[in-house]
Amino acid sequence: MPELPEVQTVIEGIKPKILNKKILDFKKYVSKLRYPISQSIKNKITGKLVKAIYRRAKYIIIDLENNQSIIIHLGMSGRIVILGSGNNQLFKHTHFIIQFSNKVKLIYIDPRRFGLIKVLPSNSLFKSKIFNHLGVEPLNKEFSGKYLKKVCENKQSSIKSTIMNQKNVVGVGNIYASESLFLAKVNPLKASYLLSIQECNLIVQSVKKVLIKSIKQGGSSINDYAMVSGKLGNYQNKLDVYGRGGSICRKRTCQSEILRIVIAQRSTFYCPVCQK
Ligand SMILES: [Zn+2]
């Protein structure tokens, strides 16, 4: 599943190609992804200039000049390919294409069809159902040790569940939660309310570090995730614990095996010696 670094990588890939370009056409090839693709999309976006492209949680947001925003979510298996002028390559599972004035095409491919495209008014975007329950962005200043400590107060749930809960902080998916807690030396099973402010500071720093490092590597190419260019991300080769159950801990002085356990139906990997 594309996580925050992968979505950020997609945004950085499409931005130079479509910013300040005009949309010439929108074509859909299926009637629904996770939800029906509205008939009105074509009318709302055709002929309009792209004014900004950014991310909120794992949503790609494309602001147009007419106070409308295109929202795209990659779901479980979505991928965006940008093709330049004269390139008519076809892709299996193409569900919609946005055509731009510079002859660039944005192609949305999604074998499992859990993705989403919607067009909403830009000025009330974050009041919409899609966004109004979401917590802070992990790479923003609001996500601090103090904030996490407050979130953890009176919570019996494991720290891993707490940082993966989108109401608390967005975009910390399964891979990055495991990796961050290893870096912070905190056991993923630890009850949230037991965490000290020092541990909360360390977790927050680790989440930011892991996400930034992954963005620099173009995300993790687990389950065939690929960048806009079709190149694979590289972060999967840098993972310390995720997917390494039964292997020896990467910390040089530690000889422990990495354990795989299940928390809230998700595989969780950690070192029982390094993480307390
Ligand atoms: Zn270890």
pLDDT of 224 > 50? The answer is no
* DSSP character at residue 51: E
Report whether 137 contacts 166 (CB < 8 A). no
Query: Span 145-270: which CATH code?
Result: 1.10.8.50
Rounded Cα distance between 94 and 97, Å, is: 8
Ligand 1: centre distance to CA 176 (Å): 17
Q: Between β-strands 266-270 and 259-263, what pairing exists: parallel, antiparallel or unpaired?
A: antiparallel
Neighbours of ion ligand 1 (CB under 5 A): 249, 251, 254, 256, 271, 273-274
Within 10 angstroms of residue 98's Cβ, the number of other Cβ atoms is 26
How many helices (H) does the chain have, and how many strands (E)? 6, 10
Rounded Cα distance between 215 and 67, Å, is: 29
Ligand 1: centre distance to CA 74 (Å): 34
Catalytic residue among 21, 208, 251, 266: 266
Residues of the chain with CATH 3.20.190.10: 4-127
Q: What is the pLDDT of residues 175-222, one digit of tens each?
A: 999 999 999 999 999 999 999 999 999 999 999 999 999 888 876 654
58 is catalytic: yes
pLDDT of 223 > 50? The answer is no
Lookup result for tokens 């891993």:
160
What mean pLDDT is predicted for residues 98-102? Answer: 95
CATH topology of domain 4-127: N-terminal domain of MutM-like DNA repair proteins (3.20.190)
216 is catalytic: no
Q: Bigger pLDDT: 220 or 137?
A: 137
Q: Bigger pLDDT: 6 or 153?
A: 153
Rounded Cα distance between 200 and 44, Å, is: 44
pLDDT at 85: 82
- The rounded percent of the chain whose pLDDT value lies above 90 is 81
Q: How many Cα neighbours within 13 Å face the side chain of 133? A: 5
Q: List the structure tokens of 182.
A: 């290893």
Ligand 1: centre distance to CA 207 (Å): 18
Q: Between β-strands 50-56 and 59-64, what pairing exists: parallel, antiparallel or unpaired?
A: antiparallel
* DSSP character at residue 171: S
Ligand 1: centre distance to CA 175 (Å): 17
State the burial class of residue 85 (Cβ atoms within 10 Å of its Cβ: 0-12, 13-18, 19+).
Answer: exposed
pLDDT at 27: 97
Catalytic residue among 17, 58, 79, 160: 58
Rounded Cα distance between 258 and 275, Å, is: 11
Ligand 1: centre distance to CA 251 (Å): 6
Q: Bigger pLDDT: 221 or 116?
A: 116
Q: What is the pLDDT of residues 62-88, one digit of tens each?
A: 999 999 999 999 998 899 988 888 888
Q: What is the largest CA-CA distance in the chain?
A: 62
2 is catalytic: yes
pLDDT at 227: 56
Ligand 1: centre distance to CA 275 (Å): 7
* DSSP character at residue 179: H
Torsion of CA 36, 31, 90, 219, to 10 degrees: 10
Residues of the chain with CATH 1.10.8.50: 145-270
CA-CA-CA-CA torsion sign (192, 197, 198, 200): positive
